[in-house]
Amino acid sequence: MTMKLVSPGEAAANTNDIPAEAGEEFVRIGEMAKKYGVTLRTLRFYEDKGLLNPHRDGSTRLYTRRDKARLKLILLGRKVGFSLRDVKQMMDLYDPTGTNTKQLRLALDKSEKQLTRLQKQRALIDDAIGELSNSMSIVRQMLVERTAAPQASAAG
Amino acid sequence: MTMKLVSPGEAAANTNDIPAEAGEEFVRIGEMAKKYGVTLRTLRFYEDKGLLNPHRDGSTRLYTRRDKARLKLILLGRKVGFSLRDVKQMMDLYDPTGTNTKQLRLALDKSEKQLTRLQKQRALIDDAIGELSNSMSIVRQMLVERTAAPQASAAG
DNA sequence: TATAGAATTGACGTAAACGTAAAAGGTGCG
DNA sequence: CGCACCTTTTACGTTTACGTCAATTCTATA
């Protein structure tokens, strides 16, 4: 009982039946990975962590629009610095039948905290940049002194 | 043959012979840790990694001015984001008899790279802050819509 | 002497997000 | 038929900077 993924007859190049037509109902892991710039391992890892739940054709994973939406959310979450645990916590509250108020509130709450963390990090980095620049100018000065004044002894 | 660390007769409170007089020649690990706000584990770890080399009285570590200077450098390095490996690499080049030109050059080189990294990180964080703020305002808007407009059905 | 407070070494645990084999099953094409 | 690819599961490895016991020893003090 193998599901047909696409209409036959248009088999591309040397790969399996998957066309580049995009907008398909199901994609397999390879397509999915390419499309979102992640590795296969990553997709399997996210699934293992309960963040994704692709359908199966036998043992082959089939990703739908829903999975793509979730993956986008995951990637956005990661981009803003959430851990996968956080992302999962938020996504787990999603209820297609409700207003998702709880989910939104949790997301907002976590976001505020994350924003604070990011701002602190920024401050730390600015601090580090300051200290580093400082040290660098000192080192440069030391190098200048060591380079430009060997006239006391024999010039060699 | 236990070395005397301080003049006797002034034993403080309940601790071992160590006075709070500061400016002493040798301090033990506990003092050292407090003074620089690190844990004992950290000091031993740094030693294990070849970053510190305290003297020993039997098995007891004794830290001198030199060790304090090195620790300060380590902490500065960490503050600006160097790995301990980097710090070690730079410190290993230190030669009390020379001009340390090589050391300074390496430090400067690493610093430039680190500065670049820090700036990139800053950009990433700024980006993340932007995205996050963006998402937050959207979520807030969604919450407002869900909260302030239940007039189509019975007002619960 | 009993006890409390330092100190020691050794070694496993942690966090995050995958990387990297390894061994095997399915499939269309020439 | 067999190769070239795609896919699967399992599971250990990686990285960094320590944390956290655990078992033991040393020392001074009450």
pLDDT in tens, B35-73: 999 999 999 999 999 999 999 999 999 999 999 999 999
Q: Residues of A with CB below 8 A from B122's CB?
A: 122, 125-126, 129
What percent of chain B is predicted at pLDDT more than 90? Answer: 77
Q: Which residue has the higher pLDDT, A15 or B57?
A: B57
State the nearest Cα–Cα gap between A6 and chain B, in angstroms: 36
pTM across the whole model? 0.81
Name the 3-class secondary structure at B27. Answer: strand
Distance in Å, residue A15 CA to nucleotide C23 C1' = 23
pLDDT in tens, A36-67: 999 999 999 999 999 999 999 999 999 999 99
User: Which chain A residue lies closest to B120 (C-alpha atoms)?
Assistant: A125
Beta bridge partners of A63: A27
Would the Cβ of A7 be found within 7 angstroms of any atom in strand C? Answer: no
Q: What's the number of CA atoms in the CB half-sphere (13 Å) around residue A72?
A: 7
Q: What's the number of CA atoms in the CB half-sphere (13 Å) around residue A23?
A: 1
Distance in Å, residue A88 CA to nucleotide D10 C1' = 24
Q: Which CATH architecture has domain B1-92?
A: Orthogonal Bundle (1.10)
Quote the pLDDT of residue B24.
Answer: 54
User: Which chain A residue lies closest to B128 (C-alpha atoms)?
Assistant: A80
Contact B5, B26 (CB under 8 A): yes
**Separation between Cα atoms, residue B45 and residue B41, nearest integer Å:** 6
Q: Which amino acid is at B77?
A: G
**Separation between Cα atoms, residue A86 and residue B80, nearest integer Å:** 28
**Separation between Cα atoms, residue A107 and residue A113, nearest integer Å:** 10
Specify the range with the lowest mean pLDDT, choosing from A146-150, B5-9, B97-101. Answer: B5-9
| pLDDT band per the 50, 70, 90 thresholds, residue A18 | very low
Domain boundaries, chain A: 15-92, 99-146
Domain A15-92 has CATH 1.10.630.10: no
- Which nucleotide across the nucleic acid strands is nearest to B75, CA versus C1'? D17
Would the Cβ of A50 be found within 7 angstroms of any atom in strand C? Answer: no
Burial class, B8, CB count within 10 angstroms (exposed 0-12 / middle 13-18 / buried 19+): exposed
**Separation between Cα atoms, residue A69 and residue A60, nearest integer Å:** 20
